[in-house]
Structure 1
Amino acid sequence: MKATLVRTSLTGIAGLTLAAASLFAATAHAADTISVVTFGGAYEAAAKKAFFEPFTAATGIGFSTESYDGGLAKLSAMEQAKNPTWDLIDLESNDAITGCDEGLLRKIDRKSLGNTSAFIPGSIMDCAVAAMVWSTVYAYDTTKLKTPPTTINDFFDLKKYPGKRGLRKSPKVTLEWALLADGVKSADVYKVLGTPAGVDRAFKKLDTIKPSIVWWEAGAQPPQLLSDGAVVMTQAYNGRIDDAVHKDHKPFESVWDGQVYDFEWWGIPMGAKNGDAAAKFIVSASSAQSYADLTKYIAYAPPRKDAIPLIAKDRLNDLPTAPANFKHALQINASFWADNADQINKRFQVWLTQ
């Protein structure tokens, strides 16, 4: 009887020891791995090289990655269930704003970022830090235009540059460009667009090129439109044109005047199991050197001004925030579009059919 009790006790102790060891191992593994969700593709590949791998080398903390299409539905469901499985999330501007407002994202400790005056204005939110800057520009084929266009006005000038224009089938950026080309200063664009008269003015300017517009819906289309000669100029994402030039050796040139830029963001879900490790990562990824390193792999720009001197001069010309390219840039107003997108989209759809 005693022997049986002893064996049972020892077996129980051994079982508890093994369970504790397993729990410790699982906890240690969790602490050593940040679960990150991104939009995938070329940007995630570049982020791995510039951000993830150096952080792992310095701290021993690794990453497990998952791709998504944006939005807050899944994050909101995690919050309601009190079971977040993500530690770090790649966010668009409107989702970063909404996620913070709805309490889905953890607050950022600004002091941990060091000299915040080095950051471009608007690149730090209460609950997110900019991971990079991308922009919408327009581009043309240098072999097909004798006189290169240089301003946003040239995009709307069908007399000087006859031919088709490629535009994304969306009022976002398109209406901003129309107002800029109609003489509205960058600082006043959203004041004007926030009025019925301003919206009318933007559509009236678009009317001047409407018969010449070729609409596109996917980011891969603008370079193809230029290659096929279907358009003389096209609105495009700067990274797509950069890829076409450097990887596909296309004779394209971007026009930066009137570029509309936006940030992509790092945020930490509220209650993230490894939120502290994710916060350390954000500090690391927000250094001038890390931002500069990203440009080696993709043409997205640093949100820090002090990263510019660390970038190779031949690469700097490809980036939205290069001093020469950033002179007449307009930051997209995510809050404006969050508040007005439905109403303006309805107007845009009606205008398309007229």
Structure 2
Amino acid sequence: MSKTTIRTAALALAALTLGAGSALAQDLTITSWGGAYQKSQDEAYFKPYTAKTKIKITQEEYNGEISKIRAMVESGKTTWDAIDVDAATAQQGCDEGILLPIDYSKFGGKDKFVKGSTFECAVPTIIYSTIYAYDADKIKDGPKTIADLFDTKKWPGKRALQKTPFGNLEFALMADGVPVDKVYEVLKTKEGVDRAFKKLDTVKKDVVWWEAGAQPPQLLASGEVVMATAWNGRIFGANKTDKRNFKIVWDGQLQDWDLWAIPKGVKSLDATYAFLQFASSPEQQAEQTKYISYGPALAAATPHIAPDILKDLPTAPENAKTALANDPVFWGDNGEELRKRFNTWLAQ
């Protein structure tokens, strides 16, 4: 074989190797929460994106531990390209510098998303809510307002509340007459916190505390409680899968977000942004609502949602009239102190 032939073959091999490396660099590893939620992402985002681009998506699962993201970044071995995070992780990860700032110009600007849902280091994907519900087979003309959750005279019986100050303090203030747009303003004061706990005192002896998302539907189904706070998707799932007749009370719902974040040291920033742009299209966000009852964070997605699906989403105009948006900065600043007080209150 001549030197020229050998050189040509070597160059060809190098080109093939480089090409293979580029293709592999485009493959993505995306981490989310598992379960029905990640299944909805698979149907709405992962499978369609692979079909469109031929880019392989490897899925991983976690339980929201920021420690896993931190350890990966600090080791210099970032293997996750995009991560589905909650609001608290989006805020903390940005403050710690382990999540990259988002270039919102790639999505047409922040105003394309539902007001209040955008974060510096995470782009919103879905909106879900903590609500309360009752069994319409057991209560024919059921409660309708957040105040009814605390009215044990009109609605006697046990209530299931999540074992955390988050949500319960907001619900207590709204039930006590604080306007939605003033809740966090009041909660930032000592008097406001005292007022919230005083309202919780009125139902404390009637509360069954839950800690896992599967518990509220179970408690309602067994008749152990007459009302239960829950994540709206859990109630929808019980109705759809188990043929329950649980009714959601949307008044005073506490809305929260899940968001896509990009960890520092990501191996292919351009490829990750390309996926996030796809996942942030109105059509794909509307597609996800076919598989799970969470609202799209992209405002333009709503017109693409069928009316029979929209009615069950927290973002439906009729359901969102009195919605309160979670303030992750407030909880980041005050969460530890409020959790201590809540635990002390529980023990009293």
For the criterion TM > 0.5, the same-fold answer is yes
Residue in structure 1 matched with residue 142 of structure 2 by the alignment: 148
- Alignment RMSD (CA, Å): 2.1
Residue in structure 2 matched with residue 25 of structure 1 by the alignment: 20
Q: Deviations over 1:314-337 (max 9, x none)?
A: 111110000000000001111111
How much has 1:207 moved relative to structure 2?
Answer: 0.6
Residue in structure 2 matched with residue 213 of structure 1 by the alignment: 207
Contact 1:135 1:262 in 2 (8 A): yes
Residue in structure 1 matched with residue 101 of structure 2 by the alignment: 107
| Counterpart Cα distance in 2 of 1:174 and 1:133 | 19
Within 5 A, what are the aligned runs for 1:177-256? 177-256=171-250
Contact 1:88 1:275 in 2 (8 A): no
Residue in structure 1 matched with residue 50 of structure 2 by the alignment: 56
Within 5 A, what are the aligned runs for 1:103-142? 103-114=97-108, 116-142=110-136
| Counterpart Cα distance in 1 of 2:344 and 2:121 | 37
TM-score, normalised via structure 2 length: 0.94
Match for 1:28: what amino acid?
A: A
Within 5 A, what are the aligned runs for 1:149-188? 149-188=143-182
How much has 1:80 moved relative to structure 2?
Answer: 2.1
Secondary structure in structure 1 of the residue aligned to 2:28: strand
Residue in structure 1 matched with residue 262 of structure 2 by the alignment: 268
| Counterpart Cα distance in 2 of 1:80 and 1:13 | 42
How much has 1:53 moved relative to structure 2?
Answer: 1.8
Residue in structure 1 matched with residue 288 of structure 2 by the alignment: 294
Aligned residue pair count: 348
Pair 17,118 (structure 1): closer, same or farther in 2 beyond 3 Å: closer
Match for 2:163: what amino acid?
A: K
In structure 1, the gaps of 5 or more residues are none
For structure 1, which segment, 296-305 or 232-241, has the greater mean C-alpha deviation from structure 2 after superposition?
A: 296-305
In the alignment, structure 1 residue 75 sits paired with structure 2 residue 75: no
Pair 307,20 (structure 1): closer, same or farther in 2 beyond 3 Å: closer
How much has 1:16 moved relative to structure 2?
Answer: 9.1
In the alignment, structure 1 residue 91 sits paired with structure 2 residue 85: yes
How much has 1:22 moved relative to structure 2?
Answer: 4.7
How much has 1:248 moved relative to structure 2?
Answer: 0.9
Is the radius of gyration larger for structure 1 or structure 2? 1
Secondary structure in structure 2 of the residue aligned to 1:296: coil
Q: Deviations over 1:73-99 (max 9, x none)?
A: 222222222221111111111111121
Residue in structure 2 matched with residue 258 of structure 1 by the alignment: 252
Contact 2:169 2:196 in 1 (8 A): yes
Secondary structure in structure 1 of the residue aligned to 2:125: strand
Secondary structure in structure 1 of the residue aligned to 2:126: strand
How much has 1:303 moved relative to structure 2?
Answer: 1.2
Contact 2:113 2:124 in 1 (8 A): no
For structure 1, which segment, 93-102 or 245-254, has the greater mean C-alpha deviation from structure 2 after superposition?
A: 93-102
In structure 2, the gaps of 5 or more residues are none
| Aligned-pair identity (%) | 49
For structure 1, which segment, 55-64 or 176-185, has the greater mean C-alpha deviation from structure 2 after superposition?
A: 55-64
| Counterpart Cα distance in 2 of 1:314 and 1:59 | 32
Match for 1:296: what amino acid?
A: K
| Counterpart Cα distance in 1 of 2:302 and 2:23 | 38
For structure 1, which segment, 268-277 or 70-79, has the greater mean C-alpha deviation from structure 2 after superposition?
A: 70-79
Contact 2:98 2:264 in 1 (8 A): yes
| Counterpart Cα distance in 1 of 2:139 and 2:331 | 35
| Counterpart Cα distance in 1 of 2:335 and 2:88 | 11
| Counterpart Cα distance in 1 of 2:56 and 2:88 | 28
Secondary structure in structure 2 of the residue aligned to 1:155: helix
| Counterpart Cα distance in 2 of 1:13 and 1:75 | 44
Match for 1:29: what amino acid?
A: L
